[in-house]
């Protein structure tokens, strides 16, 4: 099965993925040495259909994924993120991707003292952090960059 690189749409990728055998990893037949040379990053095939919950922004860079939720109420923001994580859990099982909760870190960016409620991914609690590293930048909970230098 071969898809032309220049004219492939997300809909076409989803159609081909749906036709794949369940026992093979999704994208197994899509990866050829010619395609790997032409693709800037094969990971984009996997993240083409990453779910996004309502009012949650998802960004990816290489193998780093960030989910952002904004709300004046920290409990509502956490509920949105938990909904996102529940969808990502289902999606990651489909794609046979395993997220490491020890490398994940929910950070509450606020000037207030309150933390958000605990979040879970794959039925494991994700430990809260005071800063997060994303694309080689450390961002503190008070939106400072002090650990970057």
pTM as predicted: 0.64
List the domain boundaries for the chain.
1-49, 50-149
- 3-state DSSP assignment of residue 121: strand
Residue 44, pLDDT score: 62
Contact 96, 26 (CB under 8 A): yes
What number of CA atoms fall less than 13 Å from residue 127's CA on the CB side?
8
pLDDT tens over the chain, length 149 residues: 554 555 566 677 666 666 654 445 555 555 566 655 655 555 566 667 888 888 888 887 777 888 888 888 888 989 999 999 999 999 888 888 888 888 888 888 877 777 788 999 888 999 888 888 877 778 888 777 666 55
pLDDT at 31: 59
Which pLDDT score, from 0 to 100, does residue 23 have?
A: 46
pLDDT attached to residue 21: 47
Q: How far apart (Å, rounded) are the C-alpha atoms in residues 99 and 89?
A: 9
Cα–Cα separations (whole angstroms), residue 110 to 8, 26, 72, 131, 139: 41, 39, 10, 12, 12
Confirm if 89 and 55 have CB atoms less than 8 A apart: no
CB 89 within 8 A of CB 63: no
Cβ count within 10 A of residue 129: 14
């Amino acid at each position: 099965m071969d898809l032309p690189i220049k004219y492939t749409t997300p809909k076409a990728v989803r159609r081909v993925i749906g036709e794949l055998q369940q026992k093979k990893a999704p994208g197994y037949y899509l990866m050829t040495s010619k395609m790997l040379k032409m693709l800037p990053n094969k990971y984009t095939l996997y993240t083409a259909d990453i779910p996004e919950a309502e009012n949650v922004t998802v960004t990816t860079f290489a193998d780093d994924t960030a989910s952002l939720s904004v709300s004046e109420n920290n409990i509502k923001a956490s509920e949105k993120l938990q909904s996102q994580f529940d969808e990502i859990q289902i999606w990651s099982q489909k794609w046979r991707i395993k997220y490491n909760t020890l490398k994940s870190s929910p950070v509450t960016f606020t000037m207030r003292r309150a933390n958000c409620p605990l979040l879970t991914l794959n039925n494991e609690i994700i430990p809260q952090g005071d800063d997060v590293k994303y694309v080689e930048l450390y961002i503190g909970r008070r939106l400072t960059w002090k650990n970057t230098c």
